[in-house]
Amino acid sequence: MVDLPGYGYAKVSKVARAEWGRMINYYLRKRENLACVCVLIDSRHPPQAVDLDFMEKLGVEGIPFVIIFTKADKQSAAQTRELISSYLRKLSESWDELPRHFLTSSETGQGREEVLAFIDDVNRQWAQADANA
């Protein structure tokens, strides 16, 4: 598991951000044992171009990913549902099949077991494919 730099909100120079972008793109395209990318999205915000562009790039490159909407506890459930729906509507403008998504909260533990079970399943599938190769 790798935590990549915050491409959207980190307070760094444009030069550093561009270097991160090149590093991230290289890593994602060349990492042979990359099984899945978890894209963390703050569920309190409407769709952000930088996030949508990143997910579009993953799709074009054929890199499997899921969306993990975070901070579900920071607003009402209705607000969270609406913002997640707006993300999914935006993605459906260019995607036939939407990526799997999870709703999480580090404060309440919401979604924790589902995400861990998903990661365990991906690891199991990877190990099985590796054993069959």
Nearest partner of 77 among 89, 85, 87, 67, judged by Cα: 85
CA 89 to mean position of chain CA atoms:
16
Identify whether residues 82 and 127 lie together within a single domain: yes
Mean pLDDT, 10 residues at a time, over the chain (133 residues)?
66 80 87 90 91 91 94 94 94 92 95 96 88 79
Identify whether residues 23 and 65 lie together within a single domain: no
Identify whether residues 49 and 91 lie together within a single domain: yes
Q: Report how many helices (DSSP H) and strands (DSSP E) the chain contains, helices first.
A: 4, 3
C-alpha–C-alpha distance, residues 108 and 106, integer Å: 6
| CATH number of the domain encompassing residue 64 | 3.40.50.300
What pLDDT was estimated at residue 101? 96
CB atoms within 10 A of CB 29: 12
Identify whether residues 19 and 52 lie together within a single domain: no
Identify whether residues 23 and 75 lie together within a single domain: no
Q: Which domain holds residue 2?
A: 1-31
C-alpha–C-alpha distance, residues 98 and 35, integer Å: 18
The pTM of the full predicted model, rounded to 2 decimals, is 0.88
CA distances from residue 76 to 1, 7, 17, 71, 127 in whole angstroms, order as listed? 31, 27, 33, 11, 40
